[in-house]
Amino acid sequence: MLKNIDASQLKVGMYIHNLSCDWMTHPFVRNRLLLKTEAEIRKIVDAGIHDVVIDCGRGLDVDHAPTVEETRTRTEEALIEIAAMPVAPARTTMAEELKRASQIRHQATGLVRTVMQDARLGKAIELDQVGSVVEDITTSILRNPGALMGLLRIKTKDDYTFLHSVSVCTLLVAFCRARGLDGATTYQAGLGGLVHDVGKALVPDSVLNKPGRLTEEEFAIIRKHPQDGYDILKQSPGIGQIPLDITLHHHERFDGSGYPGKQAGAGISELAQMAAIVDVYDAITADRCYHKGMAAADALRKLYEWSKFHFNPQFVQDFMRCVGIYPVGTLVLLESGRLGVVVEAHETNLLAPKVNVFFHTKRDTYIKPETVDLSRALGMGGGDKIVRHEAPEKWKVDPMRFMVLVD
């Protein structure tokens, strides 16, 4: 049986099934291990890990601890409450915005690549060029946030570093908009998102793209990138305080377990807290050479669980409403047995988005694609319900092909 326990309850002889944290946090080569020494327990606690999953069939048990299934049920109940809050509607359709969003994605990725190369060579960053891309991203988000955010979920291992920066910028702009921040602040936050990882330009490729867990020495090198990025940006005339703050503090955590300054709570600015949430969400949903990205819907549930300690809980809930409980681009299974890709969140019920259906699991065959509005009744273009999200590889389908339907 799998149970969720607090790290303070760990004892030698317990079998850890999962260290519930993002891949950059835990100090072990594996997620699963039998605890043999007190030193291993201290290592977990010192890493700022609070929740762990133990396998009681392979190690010591803990009385009265909730099972993984019980914890999951509580999380789903909380998500139902979050899903009922209103969100801003899109101004244009997915079809109208997708082509423009694709061009912005290409332009922004190329710019970040140039920025990293310039930083590696010791050149100052051209803020005018960066600012122009941030404005384009902001305009796209205002028209239809799902288009660009959906496209940016597609990353290859080779261009991850560059696309991650574009994703963080895009998600942070959308997050600011969802929280009602003014245009000037949103622009500065977007700028910070686009350049937040510029310090990684100084990290050797052998460390940055290592196909395996990092050693403690390599972790120390990686953890320098916020300070390095801050120092690089300080050399750029006209850089604002917000981008500097986001770059330096996007790895700080609400409980003080982050880096480089171990700041905590209100000691971390709101925008840096927001950037931390966005940064982790995008990182854990991406495939890397050393770990498989999780589904966006699973990542949001993890963020919600981690918000007990690592993030501002209210900000996490705001972010979930911003991207949707089932983010655009998510493959979902409906009660009817049909598979569909989420293309637009509903304004007042995030559990009932618009879905483009294209495959029938009971028949194991593609069907004529159509858009289903899950907020509507049967006969009104709806009449179905999400059972769960699915992995595209399980069904050997590419949901992104059906983001836009052609009549």
Q: Is the pLDDT of residue 407 over 60?
A: no
Would you kindly state where each structural domain of the chain is located, as residue ranges? 2-66, 94-323, 331-402
| Listed range (80-89, 217-226, 367-376) with the worst mean pLDDT | 80-89
Residue 177: pLDDT band (50, 70, 90) is very high
Mean pLDDT of all residues belonging to the chain: 89
Q: State residue 18 phi and psi, 5-degree precision.
A: -160, 130
More confident: 22 or 113: 113
pLDDT tens digits, one per residue of 46-81: 877 888 899 999 999 998 888 888 888 888 888 777
CA dihedral over 28, 29, 32, 38, signed as positive or negative: negative
- 3-state helix, strand, coil split of the chain in percent (to 5) is 50, 10, 40
Cα distance between residue 298 and residue 325, in whole Å = 9
The pLDDT of residue 210: 84
Q: How confident is the model at residue 27, as a pLDDT?
A: 59
Return left, alpha or beta for 203; rule: phi > 0 is left, psi -120 to 50 is alpha, else beta. Answer: beta
pLDDT at 91: 80
pLDDT value of residue 333: 96
Give me the architecture of the 94-323 domain, per CATH: Orthogonal Bundle (1.10)
**240-294 pLDDT per residue, tens:** 999 999 999 999 999 999 999 999 999 999 999 999 999 999 999 988 766 778 8
pLDDT at residue 157 tops 90: no
Task: Give the chain's length.
Answer: 407
Q: Which residues contact 129 (CB under 8 A, 6 or more apart)?
A: 111
Mean pLDDT of 147-152: 90
Alpha carbon distance 87, 144 (integer Å): 12
pLDDT digits (tens, 9 = 90+) for 178-189: 999 999 999 999
CA distances for 44 relative to 18, 53, 115, 272, 305, angstroms: 12, 13, 36, 25, 18
Mean pLDDT (whole number) for 136-156:
90
Tens digit of each residue's pLDDT (9 = 90 or more) over 192-207: 999 999 999 999 989 9
**pLDDT attached to residue 38:** 93
- CA 324, distance to chain mean position in Å, is 12
Q: What six digits make up the tokens of 252?
A: 């700080």
C-alpha distance from residue 386 to each of 273, 300, 326, 368 (Å)? 31, 16, 10, 19
Percentage with pLDDT > 90 across the chain:
60
In 258-376, the DSSP E strands lie at 331-334, 338-344, 354-360, 365-373
**pLDDT value, residue 94:** 86
Q: ω into residue 369 within 30 of 0, thus cis?
A: no
Q: What is the pLDDT of residue 141?
A: 94
Cβ neighbours of residue 372 under 8 Å, at least 6 residues apart?
334, 338, 340, 354, 355, 356, 357, 381, 382, 384
Which 3 state secondary structure label does DSSP give 166?
helix
pLDDT, tens digit, for every residue of 325-376?
Answer: 899 999 999 999 999 999 988 878 888 999 999 999 999 999 999 999 998 8
User: pLDDT at position 292, please?
Assistant: 79
pLDDT of 115 strictly over 90? yes
